[in-house]
Amino acid sequence: MRFAVFDETKDGETRVALVPDAVKMLLKKQHAVSVQSGAGRAASIPDAQFADAGAQIAADAAGLAAVADCLLRVRPVTTGEAAGFPEGNAVIGFLAPLRNPELVSVLAARRITAFSLDAIPRISRAQSMDTLSSMATIAGYKAVLLAADALPKFLPMLTTAAGTIRPSQALILGAGVAGLQAIATARRMGAVVEAFDVRAAVKEQIQSLGATFLEIPNQENLEDKGGYAKQVSPETLAKQRLLLHERAKVADFIITTAQVPGKPAPRLITREMVADMKPGSVIVDLAAESGGNCELTQAGKTVCEHGVTIIGPTNLPARMPLDASRMFARNLANFILEITNEKGFTMDWKNEIFAATCVTHGGEITRKAP
């Protein structure tokens, strides 16, 4: 198959779908790769490196789409772009089908075979393809750096000529991949860390990283079969907010990562909680793009309320484009090798990875919203 790597069109997107090492992985399996000129520039990967890896360099996107069997992107293609793709083509990327039903309809109407990387199942065999986890790792790491930069104090304890400076107190909400990475990074930087998650099963992971696990006595089981957090009942949510309100009062910075797939992010930090936080404290809300865990978060903006700085980043991996692209590309190449053979796509609907990620094929929507 011939795969085409497009330059990303979304504002602020600096990643590229493949890097030279991933190109070599595909070439070894007799696939061909073309790269739009300049696609890797923002990630510090010049065209020459792609050419040295064996990729062909194309001047524009239109020419690529005309000759490629499958188009590769990081961010979702737009409905306008999808409408211009050759009928019967294929596309792989973060499509977010639950949030982009119009895009899915256009892809189906164009008889495009579309695979969404954000639907890769959380199973052992798919770990090497899990782009969401890779990007969440970067987000969790970068969130702590943003908090440290915005704080008016040190993170670690320091013994100085002016006396001992106490370490910062961190509160991490959500212990998925992003949350665990945030815990690990905050601990490495010397902060004292508390963490909360509705899934009691992550207690051991939190404690293994040197953080204190906050828990609600007799809490209901809030983990689904896929390992994701479920929506909580109003009663449980009230208990959570009471606990978090008390811990927010002593926190120097809070990083929130709680999300429920396909639904708005749960509101964990209320306006009243923010008002009771210490002046100069910081909130970094990694759920900003899906509505925010904090009531006062504004996606893509930094605001100050009640003396608290609230940061709502929407694409942290794009702030580390080189390593983000390397991680994404390795996951993507492994995924491509899983769903293709010497004849093209395997069309193996018994393959859990293939079936879970294929959104449209043959004019039909193959993955319905739950």
Burial 47-84 (b: 16+ CB within 10 A, else e): bebbeebebeebeebeebbeebbbbbbbbbbeeebbee
Please give the pLDDT value at position 260: 81
Q: Count CA within 13 A, CB hemisphere, residue 330.
A: 11
Which pLDDT value is given to residue 231? 62
pLDDT of residue 281: 98
**What single-letter amino acid sits at 357?**
T
Contact 212, 297 (CB under 8 A): no
pLDDT of residue 348: 95
Give the tokens for residue 193.
Answer: 């860390």
CB contact at 8 A, 363 and 111? yes
Neighbours of 200 (CB within 10 A): 15
* Count of residues making up the chain: 370
Cβ proximity of 340 and 348 under 8 Å: no
The rounded distance, in Å, linking the Cα atoms of 222 and 231 is 7
- What domains are there in the chain, each with its CATH number? 2-119+322-365 (3.40.50.720), 137-319 (3.40.50.720)
Q: What region does 38 belong to: left with phi over 0, alpha with psi -120 to 50, or beta?
A: left
Q: Could you identify the residue written with the tokens 């080189």?
A: 322
pLDDT digits (tens), the chain, 370 positions:
999 999 998 999 999 999 999 999 999 999 999 999 999 999 999 999 999 999 999 998 888 888 899 999 999 999 998 998 889 999 999 999 988 999 999 999 999 999 999 999 989 999 999 999 999 999 999 999 999 999 999 999 999 999 999 999 999 999 999 999 999 999 999 999 999 998 888 999 999 999 999 988 766 655 555 555 556 677 877 888 899 999 999 999 999 999 887 788 989 999 999 999 999 999 999 999 999 999 999 999 999 999 999 999 999 999 999 999 999 999 999 999 999 998 899 999 999 999 999 999 999 999 754 4
pLDDT at 227: 54
User: What is the model's pLDDT at position 61?
Assistant: 83
Radius of gyration of the chain (CA): 22
Any idea which residues carry the catalytic annotation? 122, 127, 130, 133, 228
Six-digit token string for 250: 């002593």
Q: pLDDT value at position 342?
A: 87
pTM recorded for the entire structure? 0.91
- Give the model's pLDDT for residue 370: 42
